[in-house]
Amino acid sequence: MHGWTGKILKVNLTDKTTEELRLPPDVYLRNIGGKGLSGELLLEHFRHSWDDPQMPLAFMTGPLNNTSSPTSGRMTVMSRSPLTGAVCDASVGGKMGTVLKRAGYDGIVMTGKSLDWCGLSISETGVSFGNAAHLTGLPISEIHTQLAADPVMKNGAHAMIGPAAENGVRYAAIVFDGHYFAGRGGLGLVMAEKKLKFISVNGSLKTEVFDRDELKAAQEEIFRLVSASPMLTGDLGITNYGTGALYDLMHSRRMMPTNNFRQTYFEHSPSMNAYAYKKQYDTRKFGCAGCHILCKKVGAKGEIIPEFETMSHFSALVGNSDLDVVVEANRICNEAGMDTISAGVTLATYAEITDQTLSTENFLQLLENIASGQGEGVALGQGALRFATESGQPQVAMVSKGMEFPAYDPRGAQGMALAYATSTRGGCHLRAYPIAHEILRKPVATDRFSLSGKARIIKISEDMNAVVDSLTACKFLFFAASLEEYARALNAVTGMQTSAQELLKLGERIYYRERIMNARNGFAVNDDDIPARFFEESGSSSETILIAPLKRSEFLEERAAYYRIRGLDEQGLPTAEKCAELGLSC
Amino acid sequence: MLKLLIKYEQKLVEHGLCASGTPLVGGVNDVVIWNREDPLSEELEKIIAGLNINSLIFARPVEPFFSILNYLARHSDTEFVPEDTETRTFLHSIPVARSLTATEIIPLLQKRKGCVVAGHGIISFGTVSPEQAFVVFSSIIFSAFVKFFVDHAYAQQVGAPDPEAKKMLPEVLAAYDQFLPGHAEAELVTGDFSNPGDIVRAMIQAGQATVNARMVDSFFGNISYFANDTVYISQTGSSMDELESCIDACPLDDSACTGITASSELLAHRDIYLGGSNRAILHGHPKFSVIMSMLCFEKDCKNRGKCHIKCDKPRFVDDIPVIPGEVGSGPRGLSNTLPPAVQGRRGAIVYGHGVFTVGQKDFRDAYASLAEIEALCRNFYLKIISASN
């Protein structure tokens, strides 16, 4: 095959055995890779609890990995979330996706549970298991240094979990190459449950490309659009300022979640924006293998500059106005290997329930306690909803399906309300990302203060992003390019003859399958919702911008429309007819 | 949704692209609705059902565009490929359907954002808003128009004009005169502006005038003003006739990223201001300026086919430089080529793309220069084709 290696590594961690899975070509064509292929392989396991040894953890690349297709070096990690119980997949950057292909595999599917902490080493010449007890308790940077020092793994890629996962934090992440996070939903805890501390991969194999000239032409089309994108490569775009470039926009649109979403405006924001970080830390850029945008930023002294969500939640959401504290809080989470969004919302929930504004010392100490599983940190490590429920105030947790909301208040971009609600993994902005059109004007602007007509847009966007995550491309690129250009790249690499709209049809099937996974675990209409706060309380309006509560009736109307468009019944459950149309079993 | 459908129906008419009462604009959430009843909607709904979209426009453009599209359709197999920036960057190619049937049109729209239906008109779609369909509709007209005239000039130059095109030309030009407004003059407010409110009002007025003069298509083009160490610039994808709430204030020191939604040409605008004493910039896509930028009769040029990025010869239309450069700020971007070209001049034409003009106090000079350059280019074009007759 062109594009794919045709081999998936199956690993049983209980008895330390491996085998190679070779799927028929049509399975690849229907699922592409990444999110799609992971879903195909994991569907039948989705009745297992997240901590059942039979519940797989999948790493999956796509056909564009290890080719010159722009920003296509990502991969998917998928399992069932310890935080939500729902399907959980994360698109992760770095170089693991590329290197795994070089080692000869399209992906890894891991089941079982090791007796002791172990590590997995993969190369084109073989697979081996090693003891990893010596890495427990260490911060991520130290683990990465040790793994990277292995001469066999020189220039290799490394996935690892940190202390947060070891200590049972339900939003523990898997960290790749020291900096790139499969961040949300607790996938790190799934890895910890299997007693798998790290995965190291090395390889030098090439990926066969069907038509190199055509790929070059597709690449040029994509680069041209990227150059034309102010959001990506513009003077104020993420190539210069990182994802933090969004911070000023959220502030000026009065939709920055503040004090646990009780307000939407943080007065200190102008001095805590991406420019402030650039100036204070003299930042330079770095990024994923094969990417020319380089959205990540590091300070002159090696300080990792937070991403937008972290910048926002570790300032406005918890009431912190000290830039250094944001950077330090980010460092604590990075070194522990835990999701900053969930950590931020959980601490904001704690602050509201305990009726206090967190001091900077308390804020940092609580993060340390969560990571190390000490004191109140144990309860806070269970996430906002569990903590709030234990405290008798579940309504204070700003979550959907138990996953904490990122830094976009839905009252300031109303499509986000529906997107949070219908997201298969819970309170996530990345499934439909209506911010693209409601705020960033891409592909064109829509009315951010209206839900009308958004159901279909959300559905199409979910399908599109399911394809993007299956191609294992970067979502940022789709602020500029579209599936039209990526279909050309995919065809060039694989020899397929697909189109943008045909890919959307595959995306529809991939996304619907996740609805099936969740339905099998009891998720239904009541889970496709957002907290009452957004319907009952106003945000922080200005003289010219009114941040009003969402209208519950309009939300319910649009959610019902979404179900009809998606082919779900009134309870949000899959239907036999739609399953048959998509070639899926309910 | 209906409000949006009617808005874009009206824009097609107001921009002079379609006759009143003719555009069909459909929108889909969980059901399809139309701007008006029409027997064609049944077939168009089959097209909608076959695609993952939220809006669709079908309309027959007015003359001369309809004749040009049909000409290009007759002279194409499955698609035609104009070489202007709109096509190169966004459309890629323009497919041609021979019948107004879902079975023929769906496969074309699976690959591209719109298509020509020979003898019928244009179909285009959007996935988040009918605005996308409107933009594609308008871009197809623009790109086809440019291609028709560019191809004809080159054919004429080598002494092999297509007889059909040659025969069409007088009628096409006459119809284009009908499309243009009677006069391009506009009463614009006088500067210097320093108050943000005055700046925004002046920009809105100049943007509207540029659209009224039909010197810009769909939402392309941009406009800016420099004051208070800040570039006030239209947002990316904003329509020049709808600039209210679509102007970003971008401080020169980049101390806020609010302008991340600013036009992709922010960097070029900023460097023009930093390189001289200009205060206003206007960018439009007047058609004959774009056509003239694409006509170069240099023989055996090593850069032929890559003129848009590699042209290294000084080229002028009268006193106006024609320069290479792609949209935005990449290594081949016009942010590198435009600022030096404009220095000490009233404007420049970017190959296959459009015209940038400048003013020292307000938008009057920039607007007048835009209109003059377009008139100049049209005259030059007519001379070229009559000289080679």
A234 and B264 Cβ atoms separated by less than 8 Å:
yes
- Best probe of the A interface among B48, B131, B260, B337, by most A CBs < 10 A, is B260
pLDDT the model gives residue B386 = 86
Query: Using a CB-CB distance cutoff of 8 angstroms, which residues of chain A are in contact with residue B129?
Result: 437, 444-446
Query: In this complex, do B52 and A442 lie within 8 Å of one another by their Cβ atoms?
Result: no
pLDDT the model gives residue B13 = 96
Query: In this complex, do A246 and B132 lie within 8 Å of one another by their Cβ atoms?
Result: no
Q: B59 CA to chain A: closest CA distance, Å?
A: 21
Burial of A378 (0-12, 13-18, 19+ CB in 10 A): middle
pLDDT the model gives residue B299 = 87
A180 Cβ contact list (under 8 Å, min separation 6): A92, A93, A94, A96, A288
Q: Which residue, chain included where needed, has tokens 């050309």?
A: A488
Query: Using a CB-CB distance cutoff of 8 angstroms, which residues of chain B are in contact with residue A460?
Result: 52-54, 127-128
A366 vs A357: CA distance, rounded Å: 13
Query: In this complex, do A273 and B260 lie within 8 Å of one another by their Cβ atoms?
Result: no
pLDDT the model gives residue B389 = 60
Positions of E strands within A166-238: 174-176, 180-182, 196-201
Q: B133 CA to chain A: closest CA distance, Å?
A: 10
Q: B147 CA to chain A: closest CA distance, Å?
A: 20
Residue type, A319: G
Does residue A94 sit within a domain?
yes
A479 in B contact zone (CB under 8 Å)? no
pLDDT the model gives residue B54 = 95
* Position B116 pLDDT exceeds 90: yes
A444 and B242 Cβ atoms separated by less than 8 Å:
no
Q: Which two tokens stand for residue B62?
A: 């007015």
- Best probe of the A interface among B30, B113, B224, B269, by most A CBs < 10 A, is B30
Q: Which residue, chain included where needed, has tokens 């806070």?
A: A380
Q: Which two tokens stand for residue A407?
A: 């830094």
pLDDT the model gives residue A35 = 98
Q: What is the mean pLDDT of chain B?
A: 94
Q: What are phi and psi of A426, to 5 degrees?
A: 105, -150
Pairing of the two strands B79-80 and B94-97 = antiparallel
Q: Which residue of A has its CA nearest to B331?
A: A227
- Best probe of the B interface among A456, A482, A559, A569, by most B CBs < 10 A, is A456
Query: Using a CB-CB distance cutoff of 8 angstroms, which residues of chain A are in contact with residue B25?
Result: none
pLDDT the model gives residue B182 = 78
Query: Using a CB-CB distance cutoff of 8 angstroms, which residues of chain B are in contact with residue A501?
Result: 51-52, 109-111
**Structural domain range at position A109:** 8-201
Question: Per-residue DSSP letters for A243-290?
Answer: GGGHHHHHHHTT---BTTTTBS--TTGGGSSHHHHHHHHT-EEE-STT
Residue type, B111: K
N-terminal to C-terminal alpha carbon distance within chain B: 52
B83 vs B69: CA distance, rounded Å: 15
pLDDT the model gives residue A417 = 98
Question: Per-residue DSSP letters for B30-47?
Answer: SSEEESS--TTHHHHHHH
Does residue A236 sit within a domain?
no
Does residue A53 sit within a domain?
yes
Query: In this complex, do B112 and A446 lie within 8 Å of one another by their Cβ atoms?
Result: no
Q: Which residue, chain included where needed, has tokens 């497919």?
A: B95
Question: Per-residue DSSP letters for B250-268?
Answer: EETT----GGGGB-TTHHH
Query: In this complex, do A561 and B29 lie within 8 Å of one another by their Cβ atoms?
Result: yes
Q: Which two tokens stand for residue A552?
A: 């519950």
Query: Using a CB-CB distance cutoff of 8 angstroms, which residues of chain B are in contact with residue A561?
Result: 29-30
The ipTM estimated for the assembled molecules is 0.90
- What is the arithmetic mean of pLDDT over B1-23? 95
| Residue B15 pLDDT grade (very low, low, confident, very high; cuts 50, 70, 90) | very high
Query: Using a CB-CB distance cutoff of 8 angstroms, which residues of chain B are in contact with residue A229?
Result: 264, 328
DSSP B60: P
Does residue A38 sit within a domain?
yes
Residue of B7, B11, B40 whose CA lies nearest to B24 = B40
A437 in B contact zone (CB under 8 Å)? yes
Burial letters A50-68, b for 16+ CB under 10 A, else e: beebebbbbbbbbbbbbbb
B237 and A231 Cβ atoms separated by less than 8 Å:
no
Size of chain B in residues: 389
CATH number at residue A90: 3.60.9.10
A74 vs A133: CA distance, rounded Å: 29
pLDDT the model gives residue A43 = 96
Give all domains of chain B, ordered by start, each with its CATH number: 2-179 (3.40.225.10), 196-387 (3.40.225.10)
pTM (2 d.p.): 0.95
- Best probe of the A interface among B8, B57, B257, by most A CBs < 10 A, is B257
A63 vs A69: CA distance, rounded Å: 10
- Best probe of the A interface among B33, B128, B350, by most A CBs < 10 A, is B128
Q: Which residue of B has its CA nearest to A499?
A: B111
Query: In this complex, do A247 and B333 lie within 8 Å of one another by their Cβ atoms?
Result: no
Query: In this complex, do B257 and A247 lie within 8 Å of one another by their Cβ atoms?
Result: yes
Q: B28 CA to chain A: closest CA distance, Å?
A: 7
**Facing A275 at nearest CB: one of B110, B256, B329:** B256
Handedness of CA A412, A413, A416, A418 (dihedral sign): positive
A181 and A173 Cβ atoms separated by less than 8 Å:
yes
Query: In this complex, do A564 and B89 lie within 8 Å of one another by their Cβ atoms?
Result: no
A539 vs A531: CA distance, rounded Å: 14
Query: Using a CB-CB distance cutoff of 8 angstroms, which residues of chain A are in contact with residue B1?
Result: 452-453
Pairing of the two strands A157-160 and A196-201 = antiparallel
B50 Cβ contact list (under 8 Å, min separation 6): B102, B106
Does residue A436 sit within a domain?
no
**Facing A230 at nearest CB: one of B92, B126, B260:** B260
A164 in B contact zone (CB under 8 Å)? no
Query: Using a CB-CB distance cutoff of 8 angstroms, which residues of chain A are in contact with residue B263?
Result: 230
Residue type, B352: G
pLDDT in tens, B290-328: 999 999 998 889 988 888 888 888 899 999 999 999 888
A370 vs A60: CA distance, rounded Å: 30
**Facing A445 at nearest CB: one of B53, B89, B237:** B237
A185 vs A402: CA distance, rounded Å: 9
Burial letters B61-98, b for 16+ CB under 10 A, else e: bbebbbbbbbbbbeebeebbebbbbbbbbbbbbbbbbe
Q: Pick out chain A residues at pLDDT < 50.
A: none
A404 sits in which H/E element: strand A403-404
Q: Hey, is B166 helix, strand or coil?
A: helix
A419 in B contact zone (CB under 8 Å)? no
**Cα Rg, chain B, nearest whole Å:** 21
Q: B127 CA to chain A: closest CA distance, Å?
A: 7
Query: In this complex, do A453 and B29 lie within 8 Å of one another by their Cβ atoms?
Result: yes
Task: Report helix angle A500-520 to A454-471, nearest 10.
Answer: 100
- Best probe of the A interface among B5, B47, B127, by most A CBs < 10 A, is B127
B132 vs B154: CA distance, rounded Å: 32
Q: Hey, is B291 helix, strand or coil?
A: helix
- Best probe of the A interface among B4, B29, B32, B56, by most A CBs < 10 A, is B29
A338 vs A175: CA distance, rounded Å: 9
Does residue A546 sit within a domain?
no
Does residue A187 sit within a domain?
yes
Does residue A567 sit within a domain?
no
**Facing B328 at nearest CB: one of A228, A252, A461:** A228
Query: In this complex, do A501 and B113 lie within 8 Å of one another by their Cβ atoms?
Result: no
Question: Per-residue DSSP letters for B178-228?
Answer: HHS-S------------SHHHHHHHHHHHHHHHHHTT-S-TT--EEEEEET
Q: Which residue of A has its CA nearest to B2?
A: A453
Residue of A399, A391, A343, A410 whose CA lies nearest to A371 = A343
Query: In this complex, do A441 and B126 lie within 8 Å of one another by their Cβ atoms?
Result: no
Q: Which residue of B has its CA nearest to A503?
A: B110
Q: Which residue of B has its CA nearest to A270?
A: B256
Q: What are phi and psi of A199, to 5 degrees?
A: -135, 125
pLDDT the model gives residue B329 = 76
Handedness of CA B29, B34, B35, B40 (dihedral sign): positive
Q: Into how many domains does chain A fold?
A: 1
Q: B235 CA to chain A: closest CA distance, Å?
A: 9
A241 in B contact zone (CB under 8 Å)? yes
For chain B, count helices (H), then strands (E): 13, 15
B153 and B169 Cβ atoms separated by less than 8 Å:
no
| Residue B218 pLDDT grade (very low, low, confident, very high; cuts 50, 70, 90) | low
Q: Which residue of B has its CA nearest to A235?
A: B267
Query: In this complex, do A437 and B129 lie within 8 Å of one another by their Cβ atoms?
Result: yes
Q: What are phi and psi of A263, to 5 degrees?
A: -125, 170
Q: A247 CA to chain B: closest CA distance, Å?
A: 8
**Facing B327 at nearest CB: one of A228, A443, A487:** A228
Q: What are phi and psi of B327, to 5 degrees?
A: -60, 135
